[in-house]
Structure 1
């Protein structure tokens, strides 16, 4: 990990790790609610039971957060994982009814929490691009 990547990786990694830790105890209606939103964006997730989905989501967020925080994980890899995770959240925003104002991309009041996740995609792509172009600048 390059020193210039550290502030971004620590900030985003700590945020995502905390999110994953907070989902460890999701059960019942809470797990069903998170699962229901995910199924709306990715119908194939219907095959995964809500409680199992909550466990997998929690573990995935904890793994991603830890990978971003771990200096031995290459920024290219951490950035690719972050961009993919962020893209899934953006898909959730785009496909969940009521998150946007009409047919525009502008978030409704209810969608602001999900719309902001576009920054995760930007951060991931930035880590990837900087990693790929760093050697070429010399």
Structure 2
């Protein structure tokens, strides 16, 4: 079996993967009131989620996090794929930060005290985009050499 994650990618994939996997496992064990809070925040930012059951939504969110965390932890999953999944997921988290009232200082991207926890999720976007850009750059360079 060929290992697809390069050695210098392993630290970020392990750190982010473990963090996301843990978050997902916690959501899979969520109690009703925790599921209500998670769903309440999500549907405030994304109104189309209103019609979903809170417990089902939270379990599905947890499953997605477990899948993404697992993909990042598994070195045989291509970094382009794992990075793209992380980028898409973390873009949704960043959307929560940008859309929820009270998370940012008035007229600014700077977080309020309440928004710090969500603002910190932007580092996940950076990690995902970095993995994707590296793979796309390497692919482009290989293609150029072969032409």
User: 1:90 pairs with 94, 97, 102, which one?
Assistant: 94
The size of the alignment, in residue pairs, is 138
Contact 1:20 1:62 in 2 (8 A): yes
Further displaced range: 18-27 or 44-53: 18-27
Offset at residue 113 of structure 1 (A) = 0.4
Q: Residues 8-67 of structure 1, C-alpha deviation per residue, up to 9 Å, x if partnerless?
A: 101100011011111122132211110010011111111210010111011111111000
**Largest Rg, 1 or 2:** 2
User: 1:37 pairs with 34, 41, 44, which one?
Assistant: 41
Cross-structure match for 1:10: 14
How much is the aligned-residue C-alpha RMSD, in angstroms? 1.2
Q: What SS class does the counterpart of residue 68 from structure 2 fall into?
A: helix
Cross-structure match for 1:108: 112
Contact 1:27 1:54 in 2 (8 A): no
Q: Which ranges of structure 1 fall in alignment gaps of 5 or more residues?
A: none
TM-score by length of 1: 0.95
Further displaced range: 125-134 or 23-32: 23-32
Q: What SS class does the counterpart of residue 10 from structure 1 fall into?
A: helix
TM-score by length of 2: 0.90
Counterpart Cα distance in 1 of 2:70 and 2:83: 13
